Structure 1
Amino acid sequence: MKPKKLLLLALVTLSSLVILSGCGKAKPAVTEPVTSSPQVSTQTTNVTSIIDQVRQSQHFKMFPTLISEKEKDASFDYEDGCIRCHSETAILRDPAAKLTDFYQNGKYSKDREGITCLVCHNVGGDKMISLRNPGWQSCTTCHTAGSTITLGQEVNHSQKEMIEGVGVGAVPTKPSYKWAAMKDTFSCTDCHVTNGLKHDFMVPGVTATYDGLGTMRTGTQMNYTEFAKMFKQDKCITCHYEPSSTITKIQQRQKEISQKLDNLKPKFDSWEKKIKSLDPKDPKIAQFNNARTYYMYVTSDSSKGAHNYALSKSLLEQAEIGINKLN
């Protein structure tokens, strides 16, 4: 039997006894509402086991959704290198796999599975289920823009760099306090908690929306009352003994960053189309690409300033300066 099938069998048996990440015993099945975008009607999610949690998560659904889109449109911006983080197949079985291998007639056409348990977890041994990478590395192995962020280049999955405060261009390095003062005692899962009802790693209170491909995305709305519940953890109240002021500050900062992003988006969308008609040697192309690097650094982080407010603010200031010079 293949390792993946052994894993699924083991976890189905274990799902009634344990919850990954040590969050307690399994809870009865529930129906929880998921707020959708205006284009998609409200949906409900029936969660009955760890396997269901994984299969209904964005981690699992992203890869097959994007493969289907690439299959229909060869120009769709999705590359072979994306497989490394978006699917378990290349990581565990075939590092040389190509996107075309997952097309309908490809050798992996029946293996269109996104991130599953073995990507993040070891199964067996004294702990039975444990993370392959501890601490920050459990997430930042994939949630990273890569070795460097270079001015003029696109930026994707920049959560690691945002937390560490990696500077680029005119913006100096500005580590978040989570990294500067707490990197040895804090990690992603302190906020991106799992529990007995879901395994999607969304911060409590974050609104789930769906894009045009039907893929779940982080929304622009947040229920800060639900978000505040996260601060009831012992690790949080050690410092945030009165969390209401912290919640208010985060709310104000996220509102500010969101407004800046909303104001910049139409400008970047417009120039994205304009540069296609310009002469390749036109200096405006380089100017646009530089401004886009600042802008994408913040948009691809997706936290709207929660990961690193100071760096996000500085990046968007430079993005605005750059895009305004083109007008």
Structure 2
Amino acid sequence: MDLDTVRTFVAAADAGRFQEAAAELGVTQQAVSKRVAALERALGVRLFTRTPRGAELTIDGQAFLPHARELLRTAERAVAAVRADRRPLRVDVINSRGAVTGLMREFHRAHPEVELDVVMLVEIDAAVAAIRSGAIDASFRAVTAPGRPLPEDVEAVRVLDEPLQLLTGPAHALAGARSVTLAELAGHRIWMPGVVPGTEWTAYYDDLVARFGLTLEATGPNFGSDALLDTIADTPALATFMGGGTRLVWPAGHGLRRIPVTGPTPVYPHALLWRRGNPHPGLASLRAHLAGVAVGGDTDDGTWMPDWVIPR
């Protein structure tokens, strides 16, 4: 159904005269008559009766009018859903339990007037493509991995350095430690089933393993965080890394331990990516909010991150 004909019908119904509807729409009276006639042919009914006073709705016209108004409202909502200056701010956070999701929750509390759509994309190439096309407005990523430079129209700023922690079950050899150094982790099996080739976090852990001689295993399917916690709790030989800002809840019987890693502390660098010139007003608010967030990560014995990470 042609929305122009529906819009013309509503204007004529509200005005009661084709001439006034034409003036409102900025078209000729003849154009109004043609559009109404086209809509009547499409519906197979008469919508107006001409009278000396103008145009009056028929019974069919009265029945169609509320639906015509709803059609126009639906069309307006559809357009608003994809227009960058009217739709919600779309931000990719990778997962729902990580530190950057906490940043977005804080932003939402501070700026409730900014409507948000939170999406979760896995691959950085997909995220960058979505940023460049306008499908999303921003993404949190670790950049820039070796051989993966950002396009010139995509900007990035580091917003959070998240310390890694060691997660163990109650029977693990390091479960009683108040902290553990990277050197002490050598020889222990670190299980990371979510590490997959081609992602920036894989590049991060590859560099971490190479620098400190760690043993990282990515074997087995990734069934999600709940299955990971179950396995770590039940397997004394396994531990895993977890971001200090990751929010997880597990059964009390699991007896899991979150242990700070030191000497130096490995930190995961989260950066915000966006397309240069993106007009969404919410993006400016998000960037200003994040600029006031402490990047963090510094410790007494220093921190470590790959040399490909963008500077602060």
**TM-score by structure 1 length?**
0.22
Instruction: Please state which structure has a larger fraction of its residues in strand.
Output: 2
Larger Rg: 2
Instruction: Please state which structure has a larger fraction of its residues in helix.
Output: 1
**TM-score by structure 2 length?**
0.23
